Amino acid sequence: MTRDRAYFLLLNLGHFLDHLFTLIFATVAALALIREWGLSYAELLAYATPGFFAFGVFALPAGWLADRWTRDGMMAVFFVGIGLASIATSFAQTPLQIGIGLFVIGMFAAIYHPVGLAIVTMRWRNTGMRIAVNGVWGNLGVASAALITGYLIDNGGWRLAFVVPGVVCIVLGVIYTVLRWEGINEERKAPKPDAKSSAGAIDPGQKALLVRVSAIVFLTTAVSSIIFQSTTFALPKIFDERLRGLAARLADVADRIILGEADVATMIGSLAFLTFAIASVAQLIVGMSLDRFGPRRVFMGAALIQIVFFSLMPGLTDGVAFAVALGFMLGAFGQIPINDYMIGKMASGPFRARVYGIRYVVSFSVLALALPLIAFVYDNWGFDTLFRILAATALVIFIAVACLPRRLPTPEPVAA
């Protein structure tokens, strides 16, 4: 493997781990802590909320530091820092302690998106496909959080679910630092961009179009984050309620095939993993489509899929519920790379990490706000009402995206 491929692989593994760490607690809460600590699902969600606020708020300073210091250096900090924070969280004895641990995990997790995506969009061509491949790795991290955590709960307890990924992440951080040591030193010594000299003069008409598209990007970023958080965080609990019959039957089949004990929690985690993994394929299709058709048509298609399948989900259970859940996850995951693609095309290169930082402050702050929404709706009306809310949310995205121009503006300065 060449150093360039190893570099891209490590960035992809970073995205995988970033999403895995932020969702370990979702499965731990749904399948273990409800019983071990005697708290309701809604009560436990409150302790995850500060971590998701940190995930959003610290994205902007992470992007600023990356532009002012070194992007590869910040990625090394990400790997080692989040690994240590995860291991420390495994020692929590109270809900408050685990909430503090999740907050620190969120701080380090905030580094990846503004920094890693800035590297991916600046270093390689075929931006749409590169972002899509990187996004698939992130979604596999989402999927594996349920699978790995469910397995470790059954075979070693919930604390092990924080320790094992933490150790792996620290090892990868050492490898990343060794691989990129020369690049870190070169980037650290390079002259930093000056905002005034880099901005240039932009045509007024082009500037107005940039403002309009940017407003749509940040609106759809905020709204789609509600869908992403609601589906990825709540899916293990949704499956625990809606697919227990299917999971029990599959566990019985697994017992006969492998001649060993298959736990329902592991099977629910496996079904969640399968859903996320299949839905991740949508990002590859979207990545190829973005480079060919542009973001407007692709985004409208992803929103339409979500409207249809969220509307179908209320009241369904077992096999039919699994099929419909796969449908709305295809739409939810498919839309993920589109805003990153648009920012990569429009944002000025020297300040790209900061622009991504702003995008993820918006995105992950809404992720944090979505947790109380999930808890409130679930506690009062159940998941059927949540699905109807998500269908309406997808409709908002569809209407906003319809206002995009057919061709994206770029911040090219007017010739002198």
Tens digit of each residue's pLDDT, the chain (416 residues): 688 789 999 999 999 999 899 889 988 887 788 888 888 877 888 888 888 888 878 888 888 888 788 888 999 999 999 999 999 999 999 999 999 999 999 999 999 988 888 888 776 666 667 777 888 888 788 778 877 888 888 888 889 999 999 999 999 999 999 988 876 666 666 655 554 544 455 566 566 777 788 888 888 888 888 888 788 778 878 888 888 888 888 777 766 665 444 577 778 878 888 888 888 888 888 888 887 888 888 999 999 999 999 999 999 988 899 999 999 999 988 888 888 788 767 665 556 667 777 777 777 777 677 778 888 888 889 899 999 999 999 999 999 999 888 776 665 544 33
Residue 48 in domain: yes
Residue 213 in domain: yes
Position 379 scores a pLDDT of 85
Residue 409 in domain: no
**CATH number (domain holding residue 314):** 1.20.1250.20
Residue 11 in domain: yes
Residue 311 in domain: yes
Dist CA 137 CA 15 (whole Å): 6
Residue 198 in domain: no
Could you tell me the pTM of the whole model?
Answer: 0.71
323: phi then psi, degrees, rounded to nearest 5: -65, -45
Residue 408 in domain: no
**Domain count of the fold of the chain:** 1
Burial call 12-37: b when 16+ CB within 10 Å, e when fewer: bbbbbbbbbbbbbbbbbbbbbbbeee
SS3 for the chain, per residue?
Answer: CCHHHHHHHHHHHHHHHHHHHHHHHHHHHHHHHHHHCCCCHHHHHHHHHHHHHHHHHCHHHHHHHHHHCCHHHHHHHHHHHHHHHHHHHCCCCCHHHHHHHHHHHHHHHCCHHHHHHHHHHHHCCCHHHHHHHHHHHHHHHHHHHHHHHHHHHHHCCCCHHHHHHHHHHHHHHHHHHHHCHHHHHHHHHCCCCCHHHHHCCECHHHHHHHHHHHHHHHHHHHHHHHHHHHHHHHHHHHHHHHCHHHHHHHHHHHHHHHCCCCCHHHHHHHHHHHHHHHHHHHHHHHHHHHHHHCHHHHHHHHHHHHHHHHHHCCCCCHHHHHHHHHHHHHHHHHCHHHHHHHHHHHCCHHHHHHHHHHHHHHHHHHHHHHHHHHHHHHHHCCHHHHHHHHHHHHHHHHHHHCCCCCCCCCCCECCC
pLDDT in tens, 378-405: 888 989 999 999 999 999 999 999 988 8
Whether residue 388 contacts residue 315, with contact meaning beta carbons closer than 8 Å, is answered with no
User: What is the residue range of 153's domain?
Assistant: 3-185+203-401
Residue 15 in domain: yes
